[in-house]
Amino acid sequence: MNMAFENFREPEQFEIIFDKESGLEAVIAIHSTSLGPAAGGCRFWTYDDIEAAKIDAFRLAEGMSFKNALAGLPLGGGKAVIRKPARDFHRDTLFRAFGRAVARLEGRYVTAEDVGTSVADMLVVSQETKNVAGLPTQDLKPGGDPSPWTARGVFLSIESSVRRRLGRELRDCVVGIQGLGHVGFSLAKMLHDAGARLVVADISAERADRAAVELGATVSSADEILSAEIDVFAPCALGAVLSDKTIGTIRAKVICGAANNQLATDEDGLRLANRDILYAPDYVVNAGGIINVAAEYLGWTSEQAKALVEATALRLNQIYDLAEASGAATHEAANRAAKAIITSRRETSMVA
């Protein structure tokens, strides 16, 4: 292994925050600032202990470095995770305390929404720090909920992957979506408008039923959707759904969705390649949200952000081409390309 890539997952810096008064228990992981301030959302989720939260934060932060590098953003990668308190808590007090923790990092980390957090939470965070994006937008400027932008990038990626792997258009395909939250439901609407038939699953029966009523989707169970008779599987819930236990049962020929860290391990990417399933690396296709966040933070126009999101399928096809040319699995090709961008910048700044 190239020495520069060893221990790549280890972050440059991490902070563990305990704030007794608010009940905040959080981890902020700054994976890399080689390309700019470490940017990545804040997850609010149930973790068994702070160690589990730390492992998740490290993995997600590395993914953000790769995502931002391949999207061509002048940003490094970071992530925050907050443990959902087991006891009663005051949400605004908790997010104010989190905002103070972000402020103490003096711009090395920029936060935004992720699973379990909302525009309202980021507004609270903004009372303590300016290093936050995903705030309400005005005058058509980038900002607000990043998920429709994420959904758009995933939609374009599915459309392109289906053409590449199956030689078909979306109107001739069945797409299975696991998770109908902010991104998943938006994506379902786009696919429906393009004529695709949908099979959906969500642990919330209400969300699945809404897709059935509004989009004519067939409802499956959260587990069975993996082995359903579908052409494309779009994971849009949580990570690690592609594992040694699930991959053998998958019938879809394309996997392309929004969820972060879909592969339980790197070996699972090889398992998919060996089964001739085209896997669209998650952080390549789900960059639309962070592009919108970056545009807001860096003061870009909506047109600049839109152009980068619309180019998502182009970037994905470059990764597919690299994988084909080198005989690597698609996730390996993406990892290599991202690491090369980050490492070359790191080496350039060391020389300078």
Residue pair 247/269 in contact by the 8 Å Cβ criterion: no
**Contact with ligand NAD (CB under 6 A): which of 142, 146, 176, 269?**
146
**Given 117, 147, 160, 161, the residue binding ligand NAD (CB under 6 A):** 147
Least Cβ distance, residue 113 to ligand NAD (angstroms)? 6
Residues facing 79 on adjacent strands: 29
**What is the C-alpha to C-alpha distance for residues 64 and 283, in angstroms, rounded to an integer?**
7
Output the smallest distance, CB 36 to ligand NAD, in A.
19
Closest to 30 measured CA to CA, from 83, 97, 108, 103: 108
Q: Say whether 141 is catalytic.
A: no
Greatest Cα pair distance in the chain: 60
Q: For the chain, give me the number of helices (H) and strands (E)? A: 12, 12
Distance CA 207, CA 258 (A): 17
Active-site entry in 79, 253, 306, 339: 79
* Binds ligand NAD by CB under 6 A, chosen from 38, 180, 196, 255: 180
Name which position in 69, 173, 234, 258 contacts ligand NAD (CB under 6 A). Answer: 258
Q: Which of residues 221-250 bind ligand NAD (CB under 6 A)?
A: 222, 236-238
Nearest approach in angstroms of CB 145 to ligand NAD is 8
Tell me the β-bridge partners of 235.
178
Q: Which is nearer to ligand NAD, 185 or 300 (CB)?
A: 185
Q: Which residue lies nearer to ligand NAD by CB, 37 or 257?
A: 257
Q: What is the CB neighbour count within 10 angstroms for residue 269?
A: 24
Q: Residues near 329 by Cβ (< 8 Å), separated by ≥ 6? A: 269, 270, 272, 273, 279, 323
Asked if residue 31 binds ligand NAD (CB under 6 A), the reply is: no
Please give the Cα distance from 21 to 32 (Å, whole number). 31
Contact between 316 and ligand NAD per CB under 6 A: no
Binding site for ligand NAD (CB under 6 A): 114-115, 146-147, 150, 178-184, 201-204, 207, 222, 236-238, 258-260, 286, 289
